[in-house]
Structure 1
């Protein structure tokens, strides 16, 4: 009986990505070979070799030599050039090997320090997440001359900083709340009817009674109307609201939902694992601890003064405290990890038509369904 040939199983893409990531870390730790730069003509202009497609064979050390050493472990390789730096070379290498999607995964990571140039690059993640744990939802379509990534397939939403908008929301109905809400609307008709009856001398006693009832209803109508709207929240108009500094949960509830009262309403939640300041409650229910407000307030009064912000998501009724150099104005959905979505908060650089990553939050993935699909976005 002939032996059945053994077919090797295809390599696991995530296992290969993990191996490449560890190789990259090892090469980066070794540093540059510090080869002397050969004397000769001046270096070409930026991207000149890249546009020509020339292969550089000079004896000097290349600026992106560590990337060129790493590309030996990739299936597809790129031509080395003297003009490009490591970040541009790494972006080109990632585009050439789009199955690994290294650059796309780095966009969703939050390093301890975000560089001013090529902010998409990340060696580590403050959420202790590995590169291969992230499932990207975007695609790198190109690289600009400034080293920014051109992203395709983004879903984005604007962050409102002007004030708290009037948020439309729906609550559960009950017979008692419906009756009290209807009674609150009878204050002015009752008062006007009493004045008419009293002035026409039809029945002075009846007019006085109607006037007194109308005044009592008018005084109690704000509380009655608030109670009629105090059911459990069923749906909320989606908004992303930004606040400079650290704000209390009770203040957010007051600004968004007004004076509504009730056991289930209003209620905002702290995120258990969505930001750097998240603290999970120790209990059977998953939720954020109130201690994160105290921690964020402490950081705001110390070294983080002027760099603390609060993001309020009305769709999931969740608050996030985070730090940023500048106030982000755009939120981009870029990937998923650990059962949550990765949302990059970006500020705008209008002079060069680019976005700059300020922070990354872990928010419910369904929020992305309320965002708007947009075209190419430059993140640099």
Structure 2
């Protein structure tokens, strides 16, 4: 064990790790402890003026520095824990480490984030709000509201968890009683009294009729109080000799502790174009018609297949429509039909190499057997298309087989502007069939093939955007081209799609029989596209789902191949007036995805791929992982339009994050409780009790001196005896009087947000904070997905009362399940809000250190609980709670923060550091 106390190279023992804010770097430390850079690690950071520990060897366990301290060396040499464990078993716990700063006793985590990659250590940098710098290995930290530094995260934990192995990535400490010793000692005789049946029975023997009063005491309780009463009175007399501050301090002008955060970096894409990296202060005007950030609309197709232009050299009749217009006088636009089909099992299933060539170069000249067989499918498709065009009496038809550019850049533009082609078509024609088969098997019907076609993500908007009121014709390969199946848009939700309840609302909107709001349109369309893409679809770009949705909206940001699925959606949301969609999404607490969508689509799983010539096939699990943000099912059943945001998304950040501005923020304290300043009403009884208690030492010693000095003076002895009697009576009643002075109803408090891991009863929580339970705290009735409430009819007929979630049937392994933002196990945490005097139990993957109030819903504020990743200066959503609106008055606003919906699980290492003794 002494090996863990060898100081690392260039590291002074007992040096304190400081704090700071921003990006990650590769430090260049190799596995053989040779430095790749010319400077040593310590010299390098000293030159950059960074406060950082040097590294002896490329061991990426950041907790090694905790072990290397003089205090722990001294504890090891003197065997302090073995000697004093009887005095305080928690402080001198066998797995405890010691520190000069609070908390003074804690346990190291059992796991740590791996910071080594490729034989090198990744050292991360951080700059805090006061521009102080910090660099080090990755570990759990938080922003300290007292000095703005990024400090080690230490979480107070209930005894059951503290005594168990620490399998987390954060430090743990035990829950201290922070109340004054005066109040603790006064409550000591009552500490084993009967638990009241209701909160109104907390009288501590002042009322005989109470269930906890004298009338409820049994002989055991009388004996218990009697044995403790006299020692308590003597102890209180001694404590009253030395005046102490019993009340807590009012801080921050009576507000919550702020979040000392400032974002220093550029956004990936700012809402205001002037804020982007590399932009000049005045690059030029950007209006609605000349915004270079948006994609231009396609006024007419790039190419069309004209019926009268089919020749041996041009068997498809492909021609630029402008040429045809010029030939016809320049005033007549060609009418055309839109040919829709699916390549999956139906037409032109090219080989993988050919599809890759199309994706990279825009064309393919592969002549393999599969591609040669696909040629017959193309001939059949165009033959049917020409028949459909003649029947519709139009000049041309459009199909993506030959009416898009072969240039790589132009091809990408054409793919994501097909919606403009659909809008300009005179009719929508769907062609279905089986690959390589001119006759369908008897067991396969046109409707079966149409349902396969309907599972494509890209075919869904083609139906919506087709001409209103026009029936869609369905031609079948090998069928009668003179009698195609005609189906109206209204029939698609019931006969073709399996999400008809949602899709029908969108059909009604585009047919003009129902008017959806902008927000409703995006939400419903997103739900339909999500179902199709999750069944497995051909991926061309990461943001395909958003680019399919883009066809339904007015403003279209330019397609970026580097965007993730979330970034593409965020760009689309910022470009359009979507009623602050992103801001509303942030406030949701998504439910865990059910398997309903998977099971409902199993019938079509063999045909759920898109046109194979544009991308590669993905799997369902990968798609769900990429599109986690599409889960809009809220734990409380709220819809996006039920939420009123109070913040704004100012930009898009890296790694699926946004830049959030204007939210109300407060820091959550996890290391320990603090004494809470409270205001109670001054009554005559409380004022007299305070007067007698505070004057007891003076009266007692005055009486003793007066009696001692008045040996021959009966009057003096009588006066001294009177002082002694008053003092002795007050001393004997002091436990009851002190609890009466510091009890009563709370009129005002200093707002704090306290957190701890695990669960405790309200009585225990009040005892830890205030010294004794006095009906101050209550369970929040509807603050978290674990909250429970019931009707209390003892006084009012329908009074709403919050109850303990664990007593109501919740347990650490059950309850409402939510999506873990990290992919890790959800743990049980408890939040104490001293502003509203409520307690909330919730589950999260890690303890959130910041509460952001981002919007309101149902008369409550949506509090997004975030953990802080100091390595990239990002706040990650862990869970969402509901807080009372009164919290807004005591919570300051916070500037721009980098915010993410999901914190992905990082690679963990096992820490085997064990304290000595």
Question: Normalized against structure 2, the TM-score is what?
Answer: 0.35
Q: Per-residue deviation at 1:26?
A: 0.5
Instruction: Name the counterpart of 1:361.
Output: 881
| Largest Rg, 1 or 2 | 2
Matched with 2:897 is 377
What pairs up with 1:97-246 in 2 under 5 angstroms?
Answer: 97-112=576-591, 122-201=631-710, 202=713, 203-204=716-717, 206-246=719-759
The separation in 2 between residues aligned to 1:206 and 1:132, in whole angstroms, is 77
Match of 1:281, SS state, is: strand
The 5-angstrom pairing of residues 18-167 of structure 1 reads 18-31=520-533, 34-35=537-538, 61-112=540-591, 122-167=631-676
2:325 maps to 1:325: no
- C-alpha distance 300-73 of structure 1, shift in aligned 2 (>3 A): closer
Residue range with higher mean Cα deviation, 25-34 or 62-71:
25-34
Matched residue SS, 1:322? strand
Going from structure 1 to structure 2, the CA distance change for 1:170 and 1:118 (only over 3 Å counts) comes to farther
Question: How far apart are residue 242 of structure 1 and its match?
Answer: 0.3
* Unaligned runs of at least 5 residues, structure 2: 1-513, 594-623, 793-797, 818-823, 901-917
Structure-1 residue corresponding to 2:801: 287
1:217-266 CA distances to partner (integer Å, 9 max, x unpaired)? 22422321321333322111100000111111111222233237xxxx43
Aligned to 1:346: 866
Deviation readout 1:79-110 (Å, 9 max, x if unpaired): 12222121011111111124421111111111
Instruction: Report deviation, 1:73.
Output: 2.1
The verdict on how the C-alpha distance between 1:140 and 1:242 changes in structure 2, with shifts beyond 3 A counting, is same
CA contact (8 A) 2:827 2:845 kept: yes
- The DSSP-based 3-state class of the residue aligned with 1:238 is coil
RMSD over aligned Cα atoms:
2.9
Q: Could you tell me whether the CA contact under 8 Å between 1:107 and 1:122 is conserved in 2? A: no
Partner of 1:15: 517
Aligned length: 340
CA distance in 1, matches of 2:811, 2:776: 21
Q: 1:147 to 1:138 in 2, by over 3 A?
A: same
- Bigger shift: residues 70-79 or 164-173: 70-79
1:165-220 deviation line (CA, Å, top 9, x unaligned): 11011112322222222222221111011121122124445434533432332242
Post-superposition shift, 1:347? Answer: 0.6
Distance 1:118 1:30 in 2: 12
Partner residue of 1:254 out of 736, 760, 767: 767
> Are the equivalent residues in 2 in contact too, given 1:244–1:309 (CA < 8 A)?
yes
Conserved in 2, the CA contact under 8 Å of 1:148 and 1:379? yes
**2-side partners of 1:254 and 1:378: how far apart?**
38
Q: Is the 8 A contact 1:185 1:221 kept in 2?
A: no
Normalising by structure 1, we get a TM-score of 0.81
Contact residue 140 and residue 151 of structure 1 kept, 8 A: yes
CA, structure 1 residues 298+141, in 2 after alignment: closer, same or farther (shift >3 Å)? closer
Q: 1:306 and 1:123, CA in 2 relative to 1: closer, same or farther beyond 3 A? A: closer
Asked whether the equivalents of residues 644 and 855 of structure 2 are also in contact (C-alpha less than 8 Å), the reply is yes
